[in-house]
């Protein structure tokens, strides 16, 4: 039996998750308190970066950018 091809997403993103990706479109943002962060990190759509002040911020990964491009947003 053939195995299924690996896909980037294993489920449909919620509107909250898409909105979070949009917030990260132009710059890393401190969104640690948002409940969508762990799921988006697990999916490989965002990653944690450390700001100069030591703050924890998140930014889109290449896969996260690809999702937004797929939605016609770039």
Whole-prediction pTM value?
0.77
Note the pLDDT tens digit of each residue in 59-74: 999 999 999 999 898 6
Instruction: Give residue 49's region: left, alpha or beta (phi > 0; psi -120 to 50).
Output: beta
Q: Which residues of 1-74 form beta strands (DSSP E)?
A: 46-50, 56-60
14-65 confidence digits (pLDDT tens):
999 999 999 999 888 888 788 999 999 999 999 998 777 777 889 999 999 9
Q: What is the CA radius of gyration of the chain?
A: 13
Round to whole Å and give the CA distance between 3 and 69. Answer: 28
Length of the chain: 74
DSSP designation for 30: -
Which structure tokens are listed for 71?
A: 């939605």
């Amino acid at each position: 039996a053939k195995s299924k091809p690996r896909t980037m997403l294993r489920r449909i993103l919620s509107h909250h998750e898409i909105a979070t990706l949009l917030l990260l479109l132009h710059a890393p943002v401190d969104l640690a308190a948002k409940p969508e962060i762990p799921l988006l990190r697990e999916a490989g759509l965002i990653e944690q970066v450390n700001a100069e002040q030591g703050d924890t911020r998140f930014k889109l990964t290449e896969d996260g950018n690809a999702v937004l491009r797929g939605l016609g947003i770039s």
